[in-house]
Chain A
Amino acid sequence: MSATNSTILNLPDQKTATLPKRNYINAEDGLLSWLFTGDHKRIGMLYLISITFFFFIGGAFAGLIRLELLTPQPDLVASDTYNKLFSMHGIIMVFLFLVPSVPATIGNFLIPIMIGAKDLAFPKINLLSWYLYWIGGLFTLTAMVLGGVDTGWTFTTPLSTHYLNTHVVTAGLGVFIIGFSSIFTGLNFIVTIHRMRAPGMTWFRMPLFVWSNYAASILMVLGTPVLAITLVLVVLERTIGIGVFDPTKGGDPLLFQHLFWFYSHPAVYIMILPGMGVISEVISTFSRKRVFGYTAVAFSSVAIALFGFFVWAHHMFIMGVSNYSALVFSLLTMLVAVPSAIKTFNWAFTLQKGSITFETPMLYAFGFLGLFTIGGMTGVFLGALGMDIHLTETYFIVAHFHFVMVGGMLMAFLAGVHFWWPKMTGRMYPESLSKLAAVTTFIGFNLTFLPQFILGYLGMPRRYHSYPPEFQVLNVLSTAGATVLGVGYMLPLLYLAWSLKYGEIAGNNPWQATGLEWQIQSPPLTENFIEVPIMDHEAYDYEWLAHKTEQEVTTVG
């Protein structure tokens, strides 16, 4: 089947196509062969199942929050319970879903293949990372089952250290352990990318997906430990009375916030950078054009990582930091927006004069471009001190971060899952159903979160389970949107699972994409490559691909 104008999808003849006889999925049988694997691809799939599980738990909490907020009165749950709902939603979504989403699933699967390596540098540490994820996840679930934690995902002191009887220690330890999972993933990526690139695979020939994950990995390694020590100190303060944040003993609660946000701001870049990497790959493939300004995009990824370390106190403008330091952090915050903007411009120029088609990954990518831009711009608004004083701790912030994290990151994650699904499983998903899901999530998302910008601007505070009656209409719209969004997210779960058995056979390169991963079989062999590849062309070289395809056709028979 040749490519038509409306799609670049090129599947093999389904009557004769089969999955490759030998691949990483059937290489070894049995549950233990998966639980004790060192294969980065199997670990990536284990992570995919794990984060999906936690995503739906976090989503259930979101559903309950929106249900409560249908009415202005606090009528669904008690206020303590409501606090637990948004805290668990935040903890699970941030630490158990967003942070590992692209790196631990798609990154683990693809990075070695993209650079021509047989595996990551430290396969056992990769497996350990997954086990740590689950141990931390179990601690978090235990905290939930035992009654929950209600500090918010931000564990702010002295509330978390002194004024609550809830399971702060359990949840804190859970996040601490998950942090190490993240650190080991990042460490593995950095060593692999530096040391295990195939011959000819120079830094500037790597796919931009690798650059983005590299930048995110630096943040994981350097930032997460500060969160770790902060949580340790909170746990010590609650258990044995070591009072570093306790104002009654002379401690400074703001010190907690400095240390917490020193990680948690780079954390948002840990979350978004891999998503941006996905977008680079998807936009290039579905415009049939190399990414415009490769070097600028690559350096911008690293610049986001670097500048991301300099801006954390913009989460603390109203908390008691000095005006002078607030000014400095505000200026630096304006600066950190620049590399993200550079990337967005480069994606736009990639689209210009490209041959654009609208397969599902591209739909999610377009959604990302619009929604991330809105989210990013509202971040710049919040970076201005005068605006922040009015907008902070309102629904404007909630809308801002959901636009970048859900409209941005989650859409990028779904784009990546759909884009590389044929590679990871050998099967295609049903295109019309997937397009429907993409459009549904886009509509549902906007209906959920655009009203929240207005609510925040009008002054509705966040983390409250009741509100003045004049805000009800917008809240009802938001909850309606959340319902649509929920349906949109359920659909991929169903059709992707369905495709594992009934999906069309994908073949090596259904999207006719460049990149080493598309030159090997789907699903790949355990060792990825039969022989070490030599990289002799630039990234996104569509001429090379056309020439190669031509050669393959002419040499048959």
Chain B
Amino acid sequence: MDNTIVATHHDTAAEDHHAALPQHRHHFETPEQQREAGTFGMWLFLLTEIMFFGGLFFAYLLYRNWYHDAFVVASNQLSIPLGATNTAVLIGSGFFMALGVWAAEVRKKGLLVLFLILTTLLGLVFLGVKYFEYKEKWEKHHIPGEHFDISEFVNPPINPKTGRPTEQPLPPDVAQKTQVFFSLYFAMTGMHALHMIIGIGLLIWLIRRSQRGDFSAGYVAPIENFGLYWHFVDIVWLFLFPLLYLINRHPGS
């Protein structure tokens, strides 16, 4: 066996192949290596996102257990129609993103641009609904801090039809714990919304480049890898919705 380090030469055919792809970075031997490395790198980044949100999910788990009654009452302040709509909107957005990846893979530029635009639009709808929900919390003084108002939890409004309170009234010290729920609500949905805003910014950039034809000639990686990020943000919401909105909605409990 030869004991020295042997040099290799690239196939001329391979070199032609290399020269043909403008996005090929020369520290990679082949475009396939580059694509696989890119996907792997994006997944590693998503692992950091799992652990990032993980801390918040643990805090939620703990305090929901400690302050269950307060969490139930606070959660009932959130609107299920809005939350469920937003969930469907985000699922739709993810669906169009996946279709966008398909369009890039089959090199259909027009469809790619269309799907990216639909993804963005639905993402904006989601954020719009969230803005509306946050605004309502602001108006009701349910944002944690100096102006947090527990009066609605101590003296819930009376339902005119039944003559009974809409919610179980809480003693003041328990009612104070609704602030913990809202702290987590804003931290978790706020962090999620921040990730969506960053995603929409990236989408706009991707749409512009797609319109120029950058991603419909075989170079799919940016669309594919952004898709991974977008789906991940979607998955976070798929957990946030039932955990925050649906703690205890059955009557009579």
For A547, list chain B residues within 8 Å (CB): 3
Whether the Cβ atoms of B184 and A249 lie closer than 8 Å is no
CB distance from A325 to the nearest CB of B (A): 14
Q: A117-B27, A249-B180 are in contact. Are A194 and B40 (CB under 8 A)?
A: yes
For A250, list chain B residues within 8 Å (CB): 63, 66-67, 176-177, 179-180
Partner of A195, one of B25, B40, B48, B186: B40
Whether the Cβ atoms of A249 and B179 lie closer than 8 Å is yes
Whether the Cβ atoms of B41 and A242 lie closer than 8 Å is no
Contact with B along A402-437 (1 / 0, CB 8 A): 000000000000000000000000000000000000
**Stretch touching chain B among A83-91, A221-229, A270-278, A392-400:** A221-229
In the complex, chain A residues 195-252 whose Cβ is within 8 Å of any chain B Cβ: 195-196, 199, 221-226, 228-230, 232-233, 236, 240-244, 249-252
The yes or no answer to B69 lying at the interface (CB within 8 A) is no
Q: A226-B51, A229-B52, A534-B8 are in contact. Are A195 and B36 (CB under 8 A)?
A: yes
Give the interface size class of chain B.
35 or more
Partner of B41, one of A187, A533, A544: A187
Whether the Cβ atoms of A536 and B1 lie closer than 8 Å is yes
**Stretch touching chain B among A118-126, A133-141, A287-295, A463-471:** A118-126
Whether the Cβ atoms of A118 and B27 lie closer than 8 Å is yes
For B180, list chain A residues within 8 Å (CB): 243-244, 249-251
Whether the Cβ atoms of B3 and A544 lie closer than 8 Å is yes
User: Which residue of B has the minimal Cβ distance to A230?
Assistant: B55
The yes or no answer to B202 lying at the interface (CB within 8 A) is no
In the complex, chain B residues 166-182 whose Cβ is within 8 Å of any chain A Cβ: 176-177, 179-180
CB distance from A446 to the nearest CB of B (A): 39
The yes or no answer to A29 lying at the interface (CB within 8 A) is no
Q: What secondary structure prevails in chain A residues at the interface with B?
A: helix
The yes or no answer to B44 lying at the interface (CB within 8 A) is yes
Q: A230-B55, A255-B62, A536-B2 are in contact. Are A191 and B37 (CB under 8 A)?
A: yes
User: Which residue of B has the minimal Cβ distance to A40?
Assistant: B27
Whether the Cβ atoms of B179 and A243 lie closer than 8 Å is yes
What's the Cα separation between A145 and B41 when bound, in Å? 37
Q: A187-B45, A195-B37, A249-B180 are in contact. Are A223 and B55 (CB under 8 A)?
A: no
In the complex, chain B residues 53-81 whose Cβ is within 8 Å of any chain A Cβ: 53-56, 58-59, 62-63, 66-67
Whether the Cβ atoms of B41 and A191 lie closer than 8 Å is yes
The yes or no answer to A2 lying at the interface (CB within 8 A) is no
Whether the Cβ atoms of A244 and B183 lie closer than 8 Å is yes
User: Which residue of A has the minimal Cβ distance to B56?
Assistant: A229
For B62, list chain A residues within 8 Å (CB): 252, 255
What are the 7 closest A-B residue pairs judged by CB atoms, nearest first? Answer: A241-B145, A531-B7, A229-B55, A119-B27, A225-B51, A225-B52, A118-B27
